[in-house]
Amino acid sequence: MENSGLCRAHTNIALIKYWGKRDENLFLPMNSSLSLTLDAFYTDTKVTLEPTAEADTFYLNGVLQGEKETQKIANFIDLFRHEANNNSRVKVESYNHVPTAAGLASSASAFAALSGACRDAFNLELSTEVLSTFARRGSGSATRSLYGGFVEWNKGIDHDSLSSHAIPIDAADWDVAMLVIAVNTGEKKLSSRVGMKQTVETSAFYPAWVESAEKDLIAIKDAIQAQDFIRVGEITEANGMKMHGTMLGAIPPISYWEPESVKAFQKIQEIRAQGIPCYVTMDAGPNVKVLCQGSNIEKIKKILLKDFKPDQLITSGVGSGIQSLK
C-alpha cells in the first residue's frame, strides 16, 4: 500500500476578495470570492506516513521546523487522520517556489499542496471539490488553489462545511496574466487572520462590503463568460479598493499600503490612460498586482522599469490546478 503522497499546487490572487469569516472554526467566509491561479508561484509537498513515530515532523525548504509551525500543520493533518481513521504521524517535506522577492503569501499554495499530499498518503478517495473544503480549513484562500484558471469559492450555507467549496470557471483561451510589483517583501505587521476579524467586528463599512462583493461576483462571472477583459479588470480593481476601504473603516484603522504602493497604482493608471488595459489589485500587504493581457505584459513591464528595479517586477501566466507528482 502506498504510504506517501507528493502534490504541487499553485498560488492564486483574488479578483473578488475574501475578507472576513462568519465561522472562525470552520473557516467559512462572509462572502463568495473569485481568483486567478498563477503558474509562476507554487508549492511542492510530500507527506509520508510514519506509523511508528510519536510526532509529526515538518521540513520547509529543507529546514526542520520548530514546535509552533509543526503544531499548526499537525492540527490540520488531524482532519485527514480523522477522515481516514488512521492515527499515524507523518513527515511533511514542503518546498515553496515563490520568489522571495515577490513578497507573496504562500499559505494558499501551501495548504492546497498539503491537502493533496495528505489525501494521497492516507489513501483517501476525495473529489477535488471535497478536497477544497479540507484545504479551506488550513487557510481560506487555499480553497481556490485546488483548481487552475479562474476559480470561484462559494461561501456555502450556514455552518455547513461541505457547501463552502471551490468551483472552476471555464475560461478557455483567455489571454490573461499578472505582473507583481514588489514594494516590500518583509513580514507584514498584521496577519490577514487578525486584520479581517478586526474589520468584521469594527468597520462601519463592513455590511456594505459584503453586499457589494456579492454583486461584483455576479458581474465578473458575466464578464468572464463574455470574454470582456476590460470589464473584468474594472470590477477587479474596484473590488480590491473597496476591501481596502472597509479596512480603513476598522477601529483602529487598518492599512497595508506603503508610499510605493500608491506610486505603483498611479503608474498603472497612467499606463491605462495610454490605452493599455491594466488594473491593480492588492491583498493584505503593500505589494501591487497588475491584471493585464499576456500580450501586453512585456510592454507594461518596460514602462514600469523607469520607476521600479528589475527584481521588483515579476510576471506570471495562468496556473493549473493541483497535480499529483507521482
Per DSSP bridges, beta strands 33-50 and 4-16 are antiparallel
Q: Does 155 sit near ligand 2P0 (CB under 6 A)?
A: no
**203 belongs to the binding site for ligand 2P0 (CB under 6 A):** no
Helix (H, G, I), strand (E, B) or coil at 27: coil
Question: Is residue 192 within the footprint of ligand 2P0 (CB under 6 A)?
Answer: yes
Pairwise CA distance, residues 256 & 250, whole Å: 13
Q: Restricting to residues 248-307, which ones interact with ligand 2P0 according to CB under 6 A?
A: 283-284
Task: Decide: is 107 part of the binding site for ligand 2P0 (CB under 6 A).
Answer: yes
Instruction: Choose the stretch contacting ligand 2P0; rule: CB under 6 A; options: 11-19, 121-129, 161-169, 172-180.
Output: 11-19
- Choosing from 10, 27, 44, 203, the residue that interacts with ligand 2P0 (CB under 6 A) is 27
Peptide bond before 252: cis, by omega within 30 degrees of 0? yes
Residues in contact with 94: Cβ distance below 8 Å, sequence separation at least 6, in sequence order: 43, 44, 45, 46, 58, 59, 60, 61, 110, 113, 114
- The two beta strands, 278-282 and 288-292, are antiparallel
Q: Does 41 sit near ligand 2P0 (CB under 6 A)?
A: no
In sequence order, what are the residues at sequence separation of 6 or more whose Cβ sits closer than 8 angstroms to the Cβ of residue 282? 240, 244, 256, 257, 261, 288, 289
- Cβ proximity to ligand 2P0: between 171 and 303 the closer is 171
Instruction: With CB under 6 A as the rule, give the number of residues binding ligand 2P0.
Output: 14
Q: Is 96 in the site for ligand 2P0 (CB under 6 A)?
A: no
Is 145 a residue that touches ligand 2P0 (CB under 6 A)? Answer: no
Strands 57-60 and 89-97: parallel
Min dist CB 122 to ligand 2P0, Å, is 22
Does 76 participate in binding ligand 2P0 (rule CB under 6 A)? Answer: no
Q: Three cell numbers at 197?
A: 476579524
In this chain, which of 109, 132, 139, 246 binds ligand 2P0, going by CB under 6 A?
A: 139
Binding site for ligand 2P0 (CB under 6 A): 14, 17-19, 27, 33, 107, 139-141, 192-193, 283-284
